[in-house]
Amino acid sequence: MLPFLLFASAQNPEMVRLEDMDLSNVRQGWGNPMKNKSVDGHQLKIGGASFEHGLGTHAVSVINIDLGSDPVLFRAMVGVDDEAGPQGDVDFHVLCDGVEKFNSGVMHLGDAAKAVSIGLKGVKKLTLRVGNGGDEINYDHADWADAMILHYGSQPKTMAIPVEKPYILTPKPPRLPRINGPEVLGARPGRDFVWRVPATGDRPMRFTAKGLPSSLRLDKETGVVLGKAPRRGTYTIALTATNAKGRKSRKVDLVVGDKIALTPPMGWNSWNCFATAVDEAKVRSAAKMFVEKGLVDHGWQYVNIDDCWSIIPHSNDPVLGGPQRQPDGTIRTNGKFPSMKELTDSIHKMGLRAGIYSSPGPTTCGGYTSSYKYEHKDAQAWADWGFDYLKYDWCSYSEVLKPEGLGNLQKPYRDMRAALDKVDRDIVFSLCQYGMGDVWKWGAEVGGNCWRTTGDINDSWDSMSGIGFSQNGHEKFAGPGHWNDPDMLVVGWVGWGPQLHPTKLTPSEQYTHITLWSLLSSPLLIGCDLTKLDDFTLNLLTNDEVLAVNQDRLGKPAHRERVVGDIEVWTRPLADGSYALGIFNRGDGDLDARFSASDVGLKGSARVRDLWRQKDMGVMTSMSVKLKSHGCGLFKLSSVR
Ligand code: GAL
């Protein structure tokens, strides 16, 4: 007998189906909640059994329901939808007023649906949650089939997800000049060199540079440095910036030798906003925004085109189709990129650097011409066009060699390294193959300056935090010239084009994103439409003390120091003998947490500085912090001695 019959009264209770409620309040890790369908739009099916009614969702998902005045019963059949792949495993939870009443345990593809039936008498709030089964959220298609609430009183309703208001922590930079950015730059002898002194403060500003090698020229008004890198050696350059308020100096070491990317590259990439909708005008306007919005004053430098600039083989589209190569084998751009050379010239004039993308396979992930069998030709073309950064994405290379065994995994990257070594240009070599074969263990050996450690990021908490917090252990493999890359930033307006939306990360989650990526010495590639930069996003991207952690010349990424419940503490040593400490709250509620000088190995007390607020907190043995749900704090701890 069904429990609700126990409450039998003269009337039968009313029934409301989950999928008939307001689904705009459903939060989920991927896709949209689907009425009477799986998340991919097929008939709901669990373990071979089909269901006519229910809600198709995707881990990690949460639905809060206000149960109204007289609820009776919740019931459903739950499980992984049959359309999911083998990695699809999830766990279902039902909470009544915050207390767990049902936990399915981890369910896998093909498992028979589990029945849920929970009496709701006296309960005010019902929470339906789907977890990721303990791994990433890939293919976690989760069904609440035949899900319904029986009630007598007022109608149960889904509850709006509380919206966190943006809060700005980064103080405005002083009006006096201040020179920002890394303390060390790498270049190879005789190669083209482009840099722009990053400096905040009132304009107009004038720049001077003592000790600048004679092969380089400084534009005194803009701070743009152009020319050729000199002979091998370390050149300490004393930079000075002067404006109406005063002057400030700082030294930077130009190390001319075999290594480039001595600190993680910082810039922008077209993929997370424009994807296939990228074109030259969008890239030009991104570069313009670097200057107009002041990103250049904080060290942002690379303007990178991702996929979709070459020809689509066999396409009839007059803009995207046509011969893939010139008669001499030189790769051709599609109609959206009429002149790469003019584009990079204009980028270099601003003191910025330019990036391009290809695959070792016959086509890119988007189906555009790439470099298989033309590695040397393409490296030469990119050098001739003036590119300074190459993202080299595995994509269709599996058609050439199976992604098995270290030999196969390394081959395309060794080949392209050999081609890049032949051209007369400093080109950052960014490996993208999603972490296959533990690439962090050999990315440097095959000549990579950075390597993606994971699949693609998206702008959800589960994706960003799942990637970010799983980087522990990789830190030992990174250092000046070779970096782990947990993928690009998903703050601001993103969307994989042409339609964009504001990131779905909450403000606190975005602080966690930038804090964690800074601690990890990750390349920082902004993924949003820079023409839509708002004050909050700009505050995230222009905090010089936070960026200084990412750009620290010691180049030792953070590791996870400790975990207590939902709180994680990550630490790293810095070049000046101090330490950076990030403290994170991965839980669903706000928390009080504490960190200590001993977390970074300091005995007794430490001088503590809050880096986001750029504020000294005093000398202490430990400090308590209030952390918002999914939020964090970033501190610098130095010895008092
Ligand atoms: C993916 C890569 C993305 C983006 C995309 C372009 O493989 O991980 O970052 O480059 O290809 O098609």
Rounded CA gap, 517 and 520, in Å?
5
| Domain 559-639: homologous superfamily in CATH | Golgi alpha-mannosidase II (2.60.40.1180)
For residue 116, give Cα distances in angstroms to 37, 74, 94, 408.
19, 8, 9, 48
Which pLDDT score, from 0 to 100, does residue 299 have? 98
pLDDT digit string, tens, across residues 14-55 = 999 999 999 999 988 889 999 999 999 999 999 999 999 999
Looking at per-residue confidence, does 27 or 615 come out higher? 615
Q: How many residues does the chain have?
A: 641
The DSSP line for 220-253 is TTT-EEEEE--SSEEEEEEEEEEETTEEEEEEEE
pLDDT over 60 (residue 2): no
Task: Enter the pTM of the model.
Answer: 0.86
pLDDT digit string, tens, across residues 182-230 = 999 999 999 999 999 999 999 999 999 999 999 999 999 999 999 999 9
Which pLDDT score, from 0 to 100, does residue 462 have? 86
Residues paired with residue 632 on neighbouring β-strands, in sequence order: 584
Mean pLDDT along residues 286-297: 98
pLDDT over 60 (residue 574): yes
Specify whether 459 is catalytic.
Answer: no
Query: Which residue minimizes the CA distance to atom 8 of ligand 1?
Result: 456
Residue with tokens 């990021």: 457
Cβ within 8 Å of residue 419, ≥6 positions away = 375, 376, 378, 379, 380
Which pLDDT score, from 0 to 100, does residue 589 have? 82
Query: Which residue minimizes the CA distance to atom 3 of ligand 1?
Result: 456
Which pLDDT score, from 0 to 100, does residue 163 have? 87
Residue 149: closest CA among 180, 128, 130, 174: 128
Residue with tokens 């199976």: 402
Rounded CA gap, 278 and 308, in Å?
7
Q: Does the beta carbon of 610 sit less than 6 angstroms from any atom of ligand 1? A: no
Of 25-34, 340-349, 464-473, the one with minimum mean pLDDT is 25-34
For residue 215, give Cα distances in angstroms to 211, 226, 236, 470.
11, 9, 15, 44
- pLDDT mean across residues, the chain: 96
pLDDT digit string, tens, across residues 498-522 = 999 999 999 999 999 999 999 999 9
Tell me if 247 sits within 8 A of 241, measured CB to CB. yes
pLDDT over 50 (residue 1): no
3-state secondary structure 188-217: CCCCEEEEECCEECCCCCEEEEECCCCCEE
Tell me if 200 sits within 8 A of 181, measured CB to CB. no
Q: Which of 393, 426, 544, 599 is catalytic?
A: 393
pLDDT digit string, tens, across residues 579-609 = 999 999 998 789 999 999 999 999 999 999 9
Rounded CA gap, 320 and 342, in Å?
20
pLDDT over 50 (residue 8): no
Same fold for the pair 178-256 and 559-639: yes
Residue 336 identity:
K
Å from CA of 459 to ligand 1 middle: 15
Specify whether 393 is catalytic.
Answer: yes
Pairing mode of beta strands 632-639, 579-585: antiparallel
Per-domain residue ranges of the chain: 2-158, 178-256, 266-550, 559-639
CATH number attached to the domain at 266-550: 3.20.20.70
User: Could you tell me the fold of the domain covering 178-256?
Assistant: Immunoglobulin-like (2.60.40)
Query: Which residue minimizes the CA distance to atom 9 of ligand 1?
Result: 456
Rounded CA gap, 92 and 115, in Å?
11
Which pLDDT score, from 0 to 100, does residue 232 have? 98
Which pLDDT score, from 0 to 100, does residue 10 have? 58
Tell me if 400 sits within 8 A of 360, measured CB to CB. yes
| Domain 2-158: homologous superfamily in CATH | NPCBM/NEW2 domain (2.60.120.1060)
Residue 411, φ and ψ in degrees, nearest 5: -50, -55
